[in-house]
Structure 1
Amino acid sequence: MSPSETLKLLGRPIAYHPRLARLLGSVNAAILFGQLVYWSDKTTHELGIYKTAAQIEDETGLSAKEQETARNKLKAHGVLHETHKRLEHRLYFRIDFAAYDELVCKHLANSETENTESPNDESPNDKSEIPETQKGDSGIDKSGIREATNEVFAGEQMGDSYKGALDYSNRLLHKNTENIGTGVADAPTVPSEQVKKSKHANPDNVACWEAYARAYRDRYGVLPAANPKTRGQVATLVRYVGKEVAPSLAKYFLSHNDSWFVKSRHEFGCLLKNYQQVLTDMQRGEQMTQTKARQTESTQSNYEAAKSALAKLRAKGLA
């Protein structure tokens, strides 16, 4: 029998998902992750899977050095936890499926954010790599607010997007701002024939943006920038949570005091990447900040330690 025929009969080929390689950082990381996932439901040990480097190399072909590099990538993504029992000379591996789910959701959110605008939602100018400032359209006036006339004109080319409608939103938000003392000037008057060009704007997306922009102005005294990226993010959020929830969620987001949100000035992308967390906090009426998360983790760690100690005492007949 030839070597090639023998190879076909050997079995046990290592298969991996190519998309996992992009998600986790390398082919080796994807191979190791897939192998550990395979063994995860085949052990009942509380610390997870026990495999020696030699066993993993026999199963995957990864050398000890390649395994170490792959493990570091998985740990950096938070999807792998290791417990080194030095007295037993054993290294246990545990896959964090919750962290993996979160990683995938964030990756999908980022991918949809970058590619969310369909051919009907972007003009030829938006696809160009030439900056808008070189196209004769600065896009932003001295106050940092996108000019309504340019936006409405672009809205004609954007099909079902709400590019033009955002100008109506901005003009609505600008109204009476001088009385509030924000220093934001009224948007320029738009000819009625140009306003008609925004009639195809998605009203659900506009409602979500208006709620966000109002809350943003109330908190920071200025309006958020409206551009193709934010428009795509708003459209994606509406798809994720529904048109009924999106406006109230966008408004609530500005009241959330998570340190990352505050540091990012409540940039809309933060909401899109963490919409499930913000939605849960809104529905529960509480905010899970980093400080509170650390406190919860510490409490859980203490509980697990006490539980483990009690189990050992019971095993010795002392409890």
Structure 2
Amino acid sequence: MRRWLSRALVLIILCAAALAAAAWWWTRQPLALASDTVEVSIEAGTSPRGVAQAWVAAGVRTSPWLLYEWFRWSGQARQIRAGSYEIGAGTTPADLLRKMVLGDETLATVKLIEGWTFRQFRAALAKAEALSPTTAAMSDAELMAALGAPGVPPEGRFFPDTYAYSKGTSDVAVLRRALRAMQHRIDELWPLRPADSPLKSADEALVLASIVEKETGREADRGKVAAVFLNRLRIGMPLQTDPSVIYGLGTAFDGNLRKRDLLADGPYNTYTRAGLPPTPIAMPGKASLLAVMRPDPTKALYFVSRGDGSSEFSETLDQHNRAVNRYQRNQNGSK
């Protein structure tokens, strides 16, 4: 009887070892997939069993029970992180678990461009890959309230950059990051302004930076463009910037800025009104913000496009008129 029990025990041990070896071997073999890649988004609080079932439902051709038992047997089942994951050919069960434990997510990105308006920002977010459009039905005012900034106009308040996010993330999350990023840039750069700056607040700097963003054709001219507008503000001269007028026209702008548009008074008409418009007219990047805080040293009050992306700067109206005749005769574009 004792000999029989010993043999049975040895047999059990051998079977267990064989089973463990088979399990180890299985975890190192590529999983069969229903397509080239398989994606799964794991919500916070999903059980390990639910995670296994989600992968199988998405296209991993194996038993959900087997996958779950692997998670459980590894001792790391409770370390699986929520997120968006993607696997391809050659991925083993061990690779799959490691990816989820490390939080090695598959991220999508959306690029928000300097000089875009908030309307363009929203359009880009609406088209962004796998970004949940939770703000689609919100007005601008409702959206700003949802972001914790009720009553704040949205234009210019979001920093243009490339934002990575987990697939299935709400667009509110991306907008909140962009809002905080812009505030961080302003807080960082506002103290750099010169003591004689005519700008009275960081909000005014943001407004002017948005104009500089739209008016700059070449990076090297940005500091001088900012200086021209700052010089005009100091002496009470109208900014006379076309992009502000165009912004005020909104959807009525058909691509041609006419003389009647420049004469029609309105809050964004910087030809008929001195000072800054009431809000930014676009989303400025860091370079434009920095140019407003640290403008180039110049007494120029005018600039005109040379037609190659660069600008000619002048201190007097006579110099400016000569530059206009040289570079922009019978054309628009002088400032």
The higher-RCO structure (CA 8 Å, 6+ apart) is 2
The structure with more strand, counted as a fraction of residues: 2
TM-score scaled to structure 1, two decimals?
A: 0.24
